[in-house]
Amino acid sequence: MEIRIKNLKLKNFKGIKDLEINFEGQNANIYGRNATGKTTIFDAFKWLFFDKDSNDRKDFNIKTLDENNNAIHYLEHEVQAILSVDGQEMTFKKMLEEKWVKKRGQEQQEFSGHETSYWIDEVPIKKKDYEEKINSIISENLFKLITDPTFFNKMLWKEKRELLISISGSNITDNDILNSNEQFKILQENLQGRTIEDYKKVVQAKIKDLKEEKETIPVRIDELTQTLITEYNVNYDKLEEEKQTFNNQLKTIEAQMTDIQTRAEENIKKANQLAAAKVELNELKFKLETENSNKNSAEEIKLTNEKSVLEAKIRANQEELEERKLKVEQDTKKREELRKKWNEENEKKLEFNENDFKCPTCNREYEAEKAEKIKETFRENFSKHQESEKARINAEGQATNARLEENRSAVERLQNVIAEQEQQTSEIQKKLDELEAQKANQKPLDVTENTEYKEKLAKVEELQQEVDKLTSEDITELRVQKAKINTQIEDINKKLSERDTQEKTKVRIEELKKQEEDISQKIQELEAQQYQIEEFTKTKVELLENTINSNFEVVNFRLFKTQINGGLEECCDTLVNGVPYADVNNAHKILAGLDIINTLSRFYNATAPIFIDNRESINELYKTNAQVISLIVSEDNELRIEVQ
């Protein structure tokens, strides 16, 4: 498709009161000092077709201003262009004018807004049909790409790269690259049907999760380490040996005591019974003390884990609560805005413009019957549009109300859930505090309160009394020695009762250290996969760069940068003779833009007028098949136009 400007007219557009340029589809140079209206011509052309100025701004002033920079009222702001589209002439016209109405009982008219009118080939047309016609000829984005030498390099780098890849015609697939090099074999196996980009996200997410998990392990190890007994080094094997020695001594003493009573068969029997009962009594005492110590430690670990889970749930619910509150606030404001819009739309009244009832060709007023038909059409259109807008606003309001109700319910639910969870956390903390207080003030377990212990102790005492009656020999010294040994065994048993808890804690610490090592190994493996992805990307990008750059003569494109750590950072940088686009002068930027336009025009098989601002900085333009309109700063106080 070839688009050329044959004629362009401006009326009261920005600072230009009346201007007509007969381009006749040819290249043209427009000369003038700064602020004489050169760029205004480009603005007018863009506004006529796309409601924007040359800088792609939609919100800009097109009105003519007075000496105080105030808009001059009651003017018609008009732009008309005759285009040659593949050799066929088409006329486009657009006019903006102010609407002034005089309300009942008032003498002065009031400004009530603006109205824009559209024509194609001198036929009045609605805005929607006008825009659809323009879009059927050329899309706005393609128009900007092939008419403005600077537009491409203003795009986001991802958009530029995507466009370059699409026009490169490259048929290289990811599988082609994966199969081309043995180093990508493992990467290909790991993909499992996913794309490279999706797999890259999977690897990044896994590394992130593993690093977060790894960061928690030293804290957990430190917490467990603090529970270990560090005041002294306890040699439990030595304690076991000492206990065995004391037990042997105890048996010896008890044997001596028994020997004293060997004179009678009853003495021996009672002595054996007494010794066995005492052993059972000591073993029961050791068992009860050990169970009590382990019970407290297990309960504390269980409560701590429950508290951590609840706190995590509270944080998640609080985040959701804040999000829901923000949505409630936004939808509340939205609902008020919709009510205001509905009221404004409902209060709108149809105002007729006397020009609507005149012939656009001869400016003669229509007959009354025809004028009335036109009015009736206007009324029907106005009514349909008004009802449609109100229905649309109502529908949007209903959707907003539904979201608002949902989010309010969610806020109430979350507040209740958080309150309940905080209460549960408080109760658990209270239990932990009680356990901590118990540990601080904990006294040795009083086994004499245990029913089984009482029964065994009573039996021992009963047997002891019977044995004492059987001999008159003095065994006081043996009893003193035995009591001393029993005290020593009790001390050892207390220390041994702590061993299981300490050993379990040490085992858990070693497990966490091993877990930390395993996570580090997994991270290294994933980072190796990341490196493979980067190497794949580098290979692919190099192939793409060569394919893409073969389509251009002045510019080249760099699709990745090598970072300090050796990794790859994806990009899309324009290079002009190896120099980044941002660092070259204005002339080279324009020449680079023309090179890009030529390639895009070939790919899309479309040309449109190219407007080049600051053309005076370029000695010789890059050759192009499109119509070129150069805006050149000169000493001319008024616009001077040369059509080539």
Let me know if residue 196 belongs to a domain.
no
pLDDT of res. 368: 80
Instruction: List pLDDT tens digits, range 544-578.
Output: 788 888 888 889 998 888 777 666 678 889 999 88
- Give the closest residue to 532 by CA, choosing from 175, 54, 183, 116: 183
Split into its structural domains, the chain has a count of: 1
Let me know if residue 423 belongs to a domain.
no
Say which residue the tokens 């606003």 belong to. 393
pLDDT exceeds 50 at position 400: yes
Residue 497 CA to residue 294 CA, distance in Å, equals 8
pLDDT of res. 474: 66
Q: What are all long-range contacts of 364-370, with beta carbons under 8 Å and residues at least 24 apart?
A: none
Let me know if residue 69 belongs to a domain.
yes
Half-sphere exposure of 68 (CA within 13 A, CB side): 3
- Roughly how many angstroms between the first and final C-alpha of the chain, as a whole number? 22
Per DSSP, the three-state class of 381 is helix
Phi, psi of 502 (to 5 degrees): -65, -40
Percent of the residues in the chain that have a pLDDT greater than 70, as a whole number: 93
Let me know if residue 124 belongs to a domain.
yes
How many CB atoms within 10 Å of residue 293?
Answer: 18
pLDDT exceeds 90 at position 298: no
Query: b/e per residue, 401-430, with b = 16+ CB within 10 A?
Result: eebbeebbebbeebeeebeebeeebeebee
Distance of CA 13 to the CA centre of its chain: 44
When comparing pLDDT for 475 and 306, which is higher?
306
Mean pLDDT of 284-311: 77
Residue 350 pLDDT class (50, 70, 90 cuts): confident
Domain encompassing residue 125: 1-138+610-644
Residue 415 and residue 321 in contact, taking contact as beta carbons nearer than 8 Å: yes
pTM of the model: 0.49
Which residues, at least 6 apart from 204, have a Cβ–Cβ distance to it below 8 Å?
A: 530
- Give the closest residue to 327 by CA, choosing from 397, 410, 262, 257: 410
Instruction: List pLDDT tens digits, range 494-523.
Output: 777 777 777 788 888 888 889 889 999 988
Mean pLDDT of 139-162: 90
Residue 165 and residue 572 in contact, taking contact as beta carbons nearer than 8 Å: no
Instruction: List pLDDT tens digits, range 445-500.
Output: 677 777 887 787 888 888 787 777 765 566 788 888 888 888 888 888 877 777 77
Let me know if residue 229 belongs to a domain.
no
Angle at 478 between CA 472 and CA 482, to 5 degrees: 135
Per DSSP, the three-state class of 442 is coil
Average pLDDT, the chain: 84
Let me know if residue 624 belongs to a domain.
yes
Residue 86 sits in a domain of what CATH number?
3.40.50.300
Q: What are all long-range contacts of 413-422, with beta carbons under 8 Å and residues at least 24 apart?
A: 414/317, 414/318, 414/320, 414/321, 414/324, 415/321, 417/317, 418/314, 418/317, 418/318, 418/321, 421/310, 421/313, 421/314, 421/317, 422/314
- Give the closest residue to 251 by CA, choosing from 240, 243, 261, 262: 243
Copy the structure tokens of residue 121: 């080939």
Secondary structure element (H or E) that encloses residue 25, with its range:
none
Copy the structure tokens of residue 586: 């204005």
Copy the structure tokens of residue 427: 């109760």
Instruction: Report which residue type is found at 453.
Output: Y
Mean pLDDT of 73-90: 91
Let me know if residue 103 belongs to a domain.
yes
Residue 231 pLDDT class (50, 70, 90 cuts): very low
Let me know if residue 395 belongs to a domain.
no
Query: b/e per residue, 141-150, with b = 16+ CB within 10 A?
Result: eebbbbbbbb
